Each structure stands twice: as C-alpha cells, then as structure tokens.
Amino acid sequence: MSAGDSSPAGVLKVAVDCPLRALLDYLPPPGMLATDLPAGARVRVPMGTRSAVGVIVAHAAHSQLESGRLRPVTELLDATPLFDAALLELLQWTASYYHHPPGEVCAAALPAALREGQSATAQEQGLQLTAAGSAALAAGEPQRAPRQRELLALLAAHETGLSAAQLEETWPGWRAAARALGERGWVELVLREAQPAAAGHAGGALSAAPTPVLELSEPQARAVAAIDACAGRYGTFLLQGATGSGKTEVYLRLVMRALERGAGALVLVPEIGLTPQLLERFRSRLGVPIAVLHSGLSDRERLAAWRAARAGVARVVIGTRSAVFAPLQTLGLIVVDEEHDSSYKQQEGGCRYSARDLAVRRAQRAGVPVVLGSATPALESLHNANLGRYQQLPLPRRADQAAPPRIALIDLRAHAVHAGLAGPVTQAIERHLASDGQVLVYLNRRGYAPTLLCTSCGWIAPCTECDARLTVHRGAAQLRCHICGAAQPLPTRCGRCGFAVRPVGQGTERIAETLAAMFPHAPLVRLDRDTVHGADDVEAVMNALLDGSARILVGTQMVTKGHHFPGVSLVAVINADQGLFSADFRAAERLAQTIVQVAGRAGRGTRAGEVLIQTEYPEHPLLQSLIHSGYEGFAADALAEREAARWPPFSRLALLRASGCTATAALDFLRHARDCAGPAPAARLLGPVPASMARRAGRYHAQLLVEHAGRGELHHFLDHWLPAIEQLPDARRVRWALDVDPLDIQ
C-alpha cells in the first residue's frame, strides 16, 4: 500500500464524537474541495453503518488511508465555523494534554442539541412585504380591508419585516390578515435566522435600580490598574484577598473596562446554582445582556445562552467549569473566581480537564489577561507566583471592615464534650447569642450520625455495595450510603444479634437537633445537601439570616461557597481532624482552605469575629502554622514539604484509574499496563494499589500513579504508553481512564 494516496479534492481531518484518539479522514462531498468546508464547522459523517457528527479540525492534501477506503462527509452542518481558530486550537490542546479523544472534547464543548447536529443559529418565522405588496400599498390597496392595510403599512415601515413573535405581541390576530394578504401575493412568510435573545436578560433583571458605584480602595485601584494595563496582552494575575476584601468589585470594574473597549469577558465561578447573589450583582451593575452557562440549565436554555454568546448578543459569559469553552466574539478578559475550588477539575467521566488551567491557556492563546481570584489560592498557583509566572496582587482587608477574626483551637481531650460540643464552644455560642450575634456551626458531614452501632456485638451497619458505613438520617428514617446513594429503612435492632442499635458520631442533622434543644430561643437553619436543593432554598436560608429570623446556621462545605453572612460573629468548626492524617498529599491544603474560608464568614459586619476550632490534635504543625501565620504561612510550609517529597507542583502526575467487577480485575489490568512501560520506564510508576475506598457501588477500584519531574517528559511517556495499554486484552474488560494532574489521589 502506498502511504499517502493523494486525493485531488483534498482531505478533511475530522474530530468525530466517538472514543477514538485520532482525527478521522474524510473526503469533501462530491463536487466540493476540502477547503470549501471551513475548519471549526460541523459535518455529518458516516461511521461504520451509522452516522455521527464531527468537527472539521484541519485540511490535508492526502491521507494515510488508501483513497479507496476514504468516504465523503454526508453533509456540511455550518456555513460559518462554530469554533474560531483560537477555540479550535484550545480544544485540540485539551485533547492532547489530557490524552482524551478529540471528538469527545469537541462534543463536551457544545450544547446537546448542537452535538446532535441541530442548527447553530436559532430560526424564526418572519413576515415580509413583497414587491407586489409595496406597489399595492402605494396604490392605496386594499381599500375595503383597513386591518390588512394597516399590516401592509406596518411591514413597509420595517425593512426586514417582522417576526411572528413580534407580531404576536403588537398585533394579536395578525395571522388572519397575513393569510388574506398572502393569497394576493402581497406578503410572504419566511423562515430566517433569529437574533438570539440573551439568556437571563429577560425577566426584568435589568430594571433593578443600579447599585451605586463604590469608590475603589487603594489596593483595589492598584489591582484594576495593573490588570487593565495588560489589556490586549496575555498575563496571569493572582488576586489574593480574604472573603469580603472586594475581589468581586475588582472583577466588575475590569469587565466594565473590557466592555468599554468593545471586548467581551468570560467569568468562571465554581457553582452558580447556589450563588444567585453574584449573578444578580453582575446583572444590576453591568446593564448588558449576560449569557449564563451551568449544569442546572435545561438543554434549551443552554443552547439559547450558547447562541447568544456566539452571536455577540451577550458579550459577558458567566459560567461554571465547561463555560471555559464558551464561544465569545471578542474575548478581552477571563476571570476565574475562587480559583482553588476543586469543582473546576472534572473529576469523573469524560475528559478530566481543569477549567482553571485551561482558562490560563485560553488567555495565553487569545492574548488577554486572566485573573485568578481567591482568599486561599491553590499551592500550584502560589508556586507559579513565586516563580514570577503569575503576578500577585494582594487585597488586604478594607479599612471600613472589622478586624480579622480571632482564631483559637479547642482541645477536645481537655474539655468535657457533650453531643460533639466542647464546653468552651457551648459557652461561646451562648455569649454571642446573648449579645445579638449570629453563630455559624460548621461540620463537613451531613446526616444525623456517620455510624449505626450495636452496643452488644459491635456490628456497624455497612453498605452492601461499598467499603463504607451507612449514615443515619433520622428525619427521613433511613440509612443512606454517601458513596453509592443506596438507602434502606432505619432499623431499630442489630442486623446480626437483634440487640438495640444506636447512632454514633455527629452529622449536621444531629448537631442542629442538639443546638435546638440547648438554645430553644435561637431559631436555627441548616445549609447542606439534604436541606438545600437549589437557589431558592439558599435564598430562603440567606434571608432568614439577613432579617435576623434565624440566629444559628449549621452547615457543611456548602457554607464556604461564596455566601456572605454579615451578622455572623462566631464560627465553630466541630471537627478539623478529618484532613490531618490523610493518605492524600492534598488533604492538608484542602483542610487549610476550608478552615480559612469558613473563618472568613465571621465578623463581616462591624464587630470582630471569633473562630473556634475543635480538635484532638491542637499541637499538629498544620493547625499551628495556620493559627500563627495564616494561610500564607501554612502555604509556605506546605510548599516546602511538597518540594522535599517531590509532589506537585515540584513534579507532574498522572493517575491511571481502573475498576472491575472483581477485586483482582482492575489490579491485574494495571499490572499489565505497568508491564507495557517496559523494564526501565521513562517515568516513575507507583503501584498499582487498591483505591483507599476500593469497593464502590459494587465495583472494585484501583490505581497506578505516574510521576515525572518534567511536564514534557511525562507527556512524551504517556503518548507512547497509552496506545500500548489500549492494545491490552483486558483493556476491554475493565473500565479505565487516565487523569492528568489528578486532584484526588486516594
């Protein structure tokens, strides 16, 4: 076979939505040249016996395949490219960096309807005047039908005609008149491209009174000036400031400046559904249409928002992880709020990309500044700042704010503990309630109790599908598995000996019950996934705290997600110890971030806050450095530890994960994968080992860690290793996936 048979019409390299790692070669449709079909447009292609949708990535003169085996594309779906050159390049880079099939990466960047081949532009019915119609109107026709005449005149006044929707609004009953006029050939009904409405623009959001413009503090002004001076050039800025230091105000100014220059802005946030306040603030301040993209949207809403961004109707896009691929007509700025948040990393299924890292990459390619904002930046980002790759812009507390909260450790071994609360904590709650404060009690465990124990034989209610204990949910009278979601009625007797069982340990439901009994006059609200399901529930909790009808808030991690609780004067962290002794080298970082984020909710009003952290290990170095030198001090120590242990950011990791139906299947596959790397692999391979929770939902999980000091070398190794793994016979018998720059390595 002669490699590279050339085709006179040229060849299209297409990223087809399928699990193949390569681009596929197709011929243009008969009578067309490959170059007639633009890169970035979608095509429908034959795939075996079915048809699929793909995106044209490139053109080539010839293919590695014999020309007889090449098939033409069935249909060109877009006259103009869906992805511009920069976005297309970002998608290709994503596929190669995360070693993921390019067709799946392109598909993930599109709303479902476009993945399936629907039109990228919205269509609408429009009514237009014909030439005969203008002539008739000029001649004073139709004389005996005033309504028809009125409609003709209305259309004559609108050069492009009127859409059915506009007519419906201004001229109810227009259809009868239009039908009569149509029969005489004076008007015609056409299907045409609609101007997409900006999602979220309707609904009166803009009629809200504009918030008065604040005068920037000096550090805010410095940050805005530094980033603004970078307009039109790439630069990464690490905007570091505690909650309430005014980061969002800085984002708003920068977005306004971008709009003034005629450019658009992409703003990434961790979880939009739960932070309606942020969206509202952008809407009322910017006064321009905003496209909102997040996972809580229906397919139709997502399509509408995507179209609005692509058409340039919405020049500002606010969205969660996948919005990093949003099409914007002219990108002038990217903002990543709470850049340390782990939800920016896709953790399971599909391409496991980091939207934060891709945002930096996108800014680089587009030549625009990118702002990473956080009170607790990821150690990776701080390291990049230390190396001078990112410019650090600190935002100290504003002068008009209360002093920073006083943080103290409460030794659980030294005090009487009642129902999970140490004496000094109970007393502090009483004190703050008595002086009109509000109290936030943080515990990262929902449910009533994490364990159901038999006091006679020691039996603990297990999940039958996971290596996990079942959590007691007392209100719902259920035992639930927080790993696989299985649920069963709450038993009163031991599953083994029939003796009475009792819940052991604390969950938010139980702490709330205890506090309600201790402080019956202080109304309490809960913020966790069992009690809060969407933006409305969050708003109800927020309002109860703002208007003072609630005095105590009990919550999980959810309380750290962007909410402001101005009346909270005391924060109690029930248990800091879960993250202190983990096998995951990132656990300490996550714990420190959580503590600092929770502590940041205190004392935002006029009074200084107090933060009490319950622990059995008050002498632990992590807690000590956090208390005495803050997140900065902790981060410096943690980075030194990482360097000594050769963990990221001082090395690069990839994790090969596998799961199978038996305990050995996944491990065997990973052993074979390891063997593929040869006797002296170019990267360090650690494992395979069972995952720290090996059995989940009936499947057995294991992993193999790949490490190299250099990023280039690691990817070079993966490029050669993965094709070999794909050839392994058991690669089809287990589920496996590669996770580049994994966040969670347990």
Least separation in angstroms between residue 700's CB and Zn ion is 13
d(CA 90, CA 15): 14
Using CB under 6 A as the binding rule, whether residue 248 contacts ligand ADP is answered as yes
Instruction: Supply the minimum distance, in Å, between the C-beta of residue 59 and Zn ion.
Output: 50
Among the listed residues 243, 506, 508, 615, the single contact to ligand ADP using CB under 6 A: 243
Residue in 33, 85, 403, 497 binding Zn ion, rule: CB under 5 A: 497
Can you name the residues that pair with 374 across neighbouring β-strands? 240
**Between 6 and 455, whose beta carbon lies closer to Zn ion?**
455
Question: Rounded to an integer, what distance in angstroms lies between the CA atom of residue 524 and that of residue 517?
Answer: 11
Q: How far is the CB of 352 from Zn ion (least distance, A)?
A: 23
**CB under 8 A, 24+ apart: contacts of 189-192:** 189/125, 189/126, 189/127, 189/164, 190/125, 190/126, 190/127, 190/128, 190/161, 191/123, 191/124, 191/125, 191/126, 192/123, 192/124, 192/125, 192/126
Bridge partners (DSSP) listed for residue 205? none
Closest CA to 554 of 593, 509, 488, 505: 509
Whole-angstrom Cα distance, residue 117 to residue 42? 8
- Residue type present at position 74: T
Shortest distance, position 350 Cβ to ligand ADP, whole Å: 30
In this complex, which beta carbon is closest to ligand ADP, that of residue 217 or of residue 659? Answer: 217
**DSSP symbol at 335:** E
Residues 466, 695 contacting (CB under 8 angstroms): yes
Residue among 248 and 531 whose Cβ is closer to ligand ADP: 248
Q: Report the nearest approach of ligand ADP to the CB of residue 3 (Å).
A: 57
Q: What 3-state class would DSSP assign to 155?
A: helix
Consecutive H or E run containing 625: helix 621-645
Between 54 and 246, CB nearer to ligand ADP: 246
* Residue 502 makes contact with Zn ion by CB under 5 A: no
Sheet holding 50-62, edge to edge: 24-26, 6-16, 50-62, 42-47, 75-76
Query: Taking the complex as a whole, how short is the minimal distance between the CB of residue 175 and ligand ADP, in angstroms?
Result: 50
For residue 609, give the DSSP letter: P
| Contact partner at residue 466 from ligand ADP, Zn ion, none, CB < 5 to 8 Å by partner kind | Zn ion
What minimum distance in Å lies between the beta carbon of 482 and Zn ion?
A: 8
Residue 499 near which of ligand ADP, Zn ion, none (CB within 5-8 Å, type-dependent): Zn ion
Count residues contacting Zn ion (CB under 5 A)?
Answer: 15
Q: Say if residue 101 is preceded by a cis peptide, omega within 30 of 0.
A: no
Q: Which does 484 bind (CB under 5 to 8 A by kind): ligand ADP, Zn ion, none?
A: Zn ion
Nearer to Zn ion, 45 or 481 (CB): 481
Strand order across the beta sheet in which 684-696 lies: 684-696, 699-708, 652-660, 735-740
Answer with the entry of Zn ion, ligand ADP, none that 496 interacts with (C-beta below 5 to 8 A by kind): Zn ion
Nearest approach, Cβ of 649 to ligand ADP (angstroms)?
25
**Cβ–Cβ < 8 Å for 554, 527:** yes
Cβ closer to ligand ADP: 246 or 609?
A: 246
481 binds Zn ion (CB under 5 A): yes
Picked from ligand ADP, Zn ion, none, the partner binding residue 483 (CB below 5 to 8 A depending on kind) is: Zn ion
By the rule CB under 5 A, 499 interacts with Zn ion: yes
Residues 183-242 that bind ligand ADP (CB under 6 A): 214-217, 220, 241
Q: What are phi and psi of 640, to 5 degrees?
A: -65, -40
Distance in Å, CB of 613 to ligand ADP, minimum: 22
| Shortest reach from residue 606's CB to ligand ADP, in Å | 13
**Distance in Å, CB of 246 to ligand ADP, minimum:** 3
Nearer CB in complex with ligand ADP: 250/656: 250
Residue 245 binds ligand ADP, judged by CB under 6 A: yes
Regarding 320 and contact with ligand ADP (CB under 6 A), the answer is no
Q: Is 244 in the site for ligand ADP (CB under 6 A)?
A: yes
Closest CB to ligand ADP among residues 371, 382: 371
For residue 205, the partner it binds in ligand ADP, Zn ion, none, with Cβ less than 5 to 8 A by kind, is none
Please tell me the count of residues contacting ligand ADP according to CB under 6 A.
13
Q: What SS3 class is residue 451? A: strand
Question: Under rule CB under 6 A, which residues in 507-566 are in contact with ligand ADP?
Answer: none
- Binding at 441: pick from Zn ion, ligand ADP, none (beta carbon under 5-8 Å per type): none
Contacts of 646 (CB under 8 A, 6+ apart): 707, 709
The span of 260-268, 498-506, 523-531, 640-648 binding Zn ion (CB under 5 A) equals 498-506
CA distance 14 to 80: 16
Give the footprint of ligand ADP on residues 349-378 (CB under 6 A).
none
**To 10 degrees, what angle do helices 276-286 and 247-260 make?**
40
Q: Which option in ligand ADP, Zn ion, none does residue 450 bind, with CB closer than 5 to 8 A by kind?
A: none
341 lies in the site for ligand ADP, by CB under 6 A: no
CA distance 331 to 491: 58
* Number of other residues whose CB lies within 10 A of the CB of residue 216: 16
Query: What is the CB neighbour count within 10 angstroms for residue 159?
Result: 8
Helix (H) or strand (E) holding 407: strand 406-411
Q: Which is nearer to ligand ADP, 141 or 249 (CB)?
A: 249
In the complex with ligand ADP, which residue's Cβ is closer, 359 or 653? 359
- Distances in whole angstroms, Cα of residue 530 to Cα of each of 470, 474, 556: 15, 12, 10
For ligand ADP, give the closer residue by CB, 159 or 400. Answer: 400
Structure tokens that stand for 183 in this block: 């029969």
By CB under 5 A, residue 484 contacts Zn ion: yes
Nearer to ligand ADP, 150 or 218 (CB): 218
Q: Choose the stretch contacting Zn ion; rule: CB under 5 A; options: 137-145, 360-368, 490-498, 569-577.
A: 490-498
CA distance 420 to 154: 73
Q: Please choose which of ligand ADP, Zn ion, none residue 615 contacts, taking the beta carbon within 5 to 8 angstroms, the exact cut-off set by kind.
A: none
Cβ at position 351, least distance to ligand ADP in Å: 30
**CA 562, CA 343: separation in Å to the nearest integer?**
13
Closest CB to Zn ion among 484 and 608? Answer: 484
Minimum CB distance to ligand ADP smaller for 381 or for 703 = 381
Residues 6+ apart with CB under 8 A from 501: 452, 453, 454, 455, 459, 461, 491, 492, 493, 494
Structure token pair of residue 574? 């029930």
**What token pair was written down for 399?**
């002068």
Binding mask 449-478 for Zn ion (x = CB under 5 A): -----x-xx-x---x-xx------------
Least distance in angstroms from the C-beta of 257 to ligand ADP: 16
What Rg, from alpha-carbon coordinates, does the chain have?
A: 30
Where on the chain is the footprint of Zn ion (CB under 5 A)?
A: 454, 456-457, 459, 463, 465-466, 481, 483-484, 486, 494, 496-497, 499
Q: What does the binding site for ligand ADP look like in residue numbers (CB under 6 A)?
A: 214-217, 220, 241, 243-249
